[in-house]
A = this chain, B = another copy of it.
């Protein structure tokens, strides 16, 4: 069994690991530190036998080996992936599911080919409205197969890729070797791993992971409400959000200037500013945004804070994006605990010098 000793194990089988926020010290998350989300068991795949099948509402069904796919125009994008359930453990009342804290997120350079180019070769018919994705992950008892679908518009977007490299290396097994979908800006469950089958459909796929899971209430509901699937819609883009990576939560600090650091992201939008508060949210100061930037990638930020005296402080971070969205104070509770993005907070204790 593959393990990730420096990460926090949230499930052993299937392997689910999150990254401790203190390990996020570079804009690009190294592969070994990248969070892992699996719904089913990790498959064993050999390139000799692996191929990708493209069929459904197309004129030209075909199967392709990895070397065939690499003949399409290759593109590299730096993209932040975040599990829709990242932060689930903070909802009140609590909800079922993997109890992610802050680290089911990471940023990598992904290299692959455009799904649109592959679909163009397959010649989608006029009946084609959605595209279904299935992987080689292996069953767990009666758990439904992990199959997802995308509306055609997002499937054909030039940034939606079939990727085979992560940070310049072949895709690691836990991240979908040899090929995964990459849907930039959307919650990461769309980025199906160990991809073996792309089928064009005339309607949205109707399996469990489309019609039941990864859905959000159509209208806001009171915390603790039961919501039927009919009153929900599929998740898509990510909200604006930030995490603080330094100082660590509950850190003891000297009475001296301290560099407050973190990352902010906003799905398909870009982060326009991050503000930091050290007076319990009464006043806010702008953080400095990092030079590294790309459309779908998180943005580093930092703020040099000089504590006014010893004592206990909350450090808050609030990101705003180019769509004018801003992190809220109150969470949007939902039965599956998706899209937690309230104003970020760590607490520290400043010691008298």
Contact = CB atoms under 8 A, between A and B. Distances in A.
Interface in A318-334: 325-332
Contact of A282 (B220, B281, B283, B326): B326
Interface residues of A, number: 32
Interface string A321-353: 000011111111000000000110101010000
Contact of A219 (B311, B326, B345): B311
The number of times this chain is found in the oligomer is: 2
Given A330-B345, A343-B329, A345-B330, A312 B282 contact: no
Contacts of A342: 280
A309 interface: yes
Contacts of A221: 311-312
B331 A280 contact: yes
A328 B281 contact: yes
A330 B313 CA distance: 10
Nearest to A348: B222
Interface in A287-310: 309-310
Nearest to A219: B311
A343 B329 CA distance: 10
B222 A330 contact: no
A312 to B, nearest CB: 4
Contacts of A225: 312
Interface centre among A219, A313, A347 (most CB of B within 10 A): A219
Given A222-B347, A345-B330, A282 B313 contact: no
Given A316-B329, A330-B316, A330-B345, A219 B283 contact: no
Interface string A266-290: 0000000000010111110000000
Contacts of A219: 309-312
A76 interface: no
Contact of A280 (B313, B330, B347, B349): B330
Given A280-B331, A331-B280, A332-B280, A222 B326 contact: no
B345 A312 contact: no
A232 interface: no
Interface in A249-281: 277, 279-281
A326 B283 contact: yes
A46 to B, nearest CB: 49
A304 to B, nearest CB: 20
Contacts of A309: 219
Contacts of A345: 330
A89 interface: no
A83 B241 CA distance: 38
A314 interface: yes
A222 B282 contact: no
Interface of A: 217, 219-222, 225, 277, 279-283, 309-314, 316, 325-332, 342-343, 345, 347, 349
18 contacts: A217-B311, A219-B310, A220-B311, A220-B312, A221-B312, A222-B347, A222-B349, A280-B328, A281-B328, A281-B329, A281-B330, A281-B343, A282-B326, A282-B327, A282-B328, A314-B330, A329-B343, A330-B345
Lowest 8 CB-CB distances: which A-B pairs, in order?
Answer: A281-B329, A219-B311, A280-B328, A280-B330, A220-B311, A222-B312, A314-B330, A220-B312
